[in-house]
Copies of this chain bind each other. A is one copy, B any other.
Amino acid sequence: MSAAAAPVLALSGGVGGAKLCLGLADVLGPDLLHIASNTADDFEHLGLTVCPDIDTVLYTLAGLSNAEQGWGLAGESWRVLGALAGLGVDTWFKLGDRDLATHLWRTGQLAAGASLSAVTRDLVERLGVPAHLYPMSDDPVRTIVHSDEGDLPFQEYFVRRQCQPAVTGFSFAGLQEARLQPDLAALCRQPALAGVIICPSNPFVSIDPILQLDSFWKILRDRAVPVVVVAPIVDGRAIKGPAAKMMAELSMPVTALGVAEYYARHYPGLVGTYVIDHSDANLVTAISRLGMEVELAATIMREREDKQALASFCLELLRQ
């Protein structure tokens, strides 16, 4: 198998990760792209099992996402949410009608005994998603945000409280008991695996849970799997989400260097190449000192071409 036809594994959270996954799917085609999705921000709401990161990847790769809004589905409607409000229910979590169909189908299948992996594979087929997509685990793992207002389940922090509480740390309930999704474990034992791309997702709440599951990061490091990270911070800001705010509250430098230091400290020897935006060129020397190769690219993915270009760039790094 040539390097060009080798499978690639992407680790992804929500919106930012899904953008790069879309580019990777465009470049690689459907058979070679494998995506491990964070499930630590999954939650149970109104009896439904909601998997925000899986769904963001599903919708983005199926061409169904609402690009303007940055989350959710295009052409979404809100009839059920309106009816819930009419019942006097607190509708803090915005469940659209189209989105609800996904949650209902998933919840029904899970109730009938299917694994989250099986339901995800089924949704990949139903939506025509051109990639292999896996939850990081079939076992529930749930992020708890430690904050100046106490411990909050992730969606309480993220959606209900709009990330306002200042974070002091994170823990992942269920992580110790959870097993890495079996296909992911098998993929990492494949000699053909070209490498792993860690998407520009939140390191604390999207990537940490995946890397820590069953010491996944040690398996990757000990097998010398090439790992490329795309920095989720550009010019001191997160493109989307609370990563920058969290870093400031954790007294970290809010830069791509800060994230690189975090990866180097928590996952020593894991990251081979670290991709930063051209605008952060001043950080190259400092990041290099952490023992990573540093590469400059255009990492802000507005258009489809931006996603494809960054994907091609990362794939080329794996090939080297």
- Chain A interface (Cβ < 8 Å from any Cβ of B): 44-49, 77, 79-80, 83-84, 86-89, 97-98, 100-102, 104-108, 110-111, 123, 126-127
B101 touches A83 (CB 8 A): yes
| A to B CB contacts below 8 Å, 14 in the list | A45-B108, A46-B105, A46-B107, A47-B106, A47-B107, A47-B108, A79-B98, A80-B80, A80-B98, A83-B97, A87-B105, A87-B126, A87-B127, A89-B126
B108 touches A80 (CB 8 A): no
Query: Which residue in chain B gives the minimum CB-CB distance to A88?
Result: B126
Query: Which residue in chain B gives the minimum CB-CB distance to A47?
Result: B107
* A89 partner residues in chain B, CB cutoff 8 A: 101, 105, 126
**In the complex, the 8 A-B pairs of residues with the closest C-beta atoms, listed nearest first:** A47-B107, A83-B101, A79-B97, A46-B108, A46-B104, A83-B98, A47-B108, A84-B101
Grouping DSSP codes into helix (H, G, I), strand (E, B) and loop, the A interface class, with mixed when no group exceeds half, is helix
* A105 partner residues in chain B, CB cutoff 8 A: 46, 84, 87, 89
| Bound CA span A88–B104, Å | 13
Beyond A47-B47, A87-B127, whether A80 also contacts B107 by CB under 8 A is: no
Beyond A47-B48, A77-B79, whether A86 also contacts B104 by CB under 8 A is: no
Query: Which residue in chain B gives the minimum CB-CB distance to A101?
Result: B83
| Bound CA span A104–B97, Å | 12
| A167 to B: closest C-beta gap in Å | 26
Beyond A47-B110, A111-B47, whether A104 also contacts B126 by CB under 8 A is: no
| A241 to B: closest C-beta gap in Å | 26
Query: Which residue in chain B gives the minimum CB-CB distance to A85?
Result: B101
| A216 to B: closest C-beta gap in Å | 30
* A87 partner residues in chain B, CB cutoff 8 A: 101-102, 105, 123, 126-127
| Bound CA span A25–B86, Å | 23
* A80 partner residues in chain B, CB cutoff 8 A: 79-80, 97-98, 100-101, 104
Of the listed residues A79, A104, A123, the one surrounded by the most CB atoms of chain B closer than 10 A to its CB is A104
Query: Which residue in chain B gives the minimum CB-CB distance to A79?
Result: B97
Query: Which residue in chain B gives the minimum CB-CB distance to A64?
Result: B86
* A127 partner residues in chain B, CB cutoff 8 A: 87
Query: Which residue in chain B gives the minimum CB-CB distance to A127?
Result: B87
- Specify which of B83, B102, B111 is in contact with A44 (CB 8 Å cutoff): B111
* A86 partner residues in chain B, CB cutoff 8 A: 98, 101
| Bound CA span A98–B84, Å | 8
| Bound CA span A77–B83, Å | 11
Query: Which residue in chain B gives the minimum CB-CB distance to A110?
Result: B47
| Bound CA span A274–B319, Å | 85
Known pairs A47-B110, A83-B97, A83-B101; list 20 more (Cβ under 8 Å). Answer: A47-B48, A47-B107, A47-B108, A47-B111, A48-B104, A48-B107, A48-B108, A79-B98, A80-B80, A80-B98, A83-B102, A84-B101, A84-B105, A86-B101, A87-B101, A87-B105, A87-B123, A87-B126, A87-B127, A89-B105
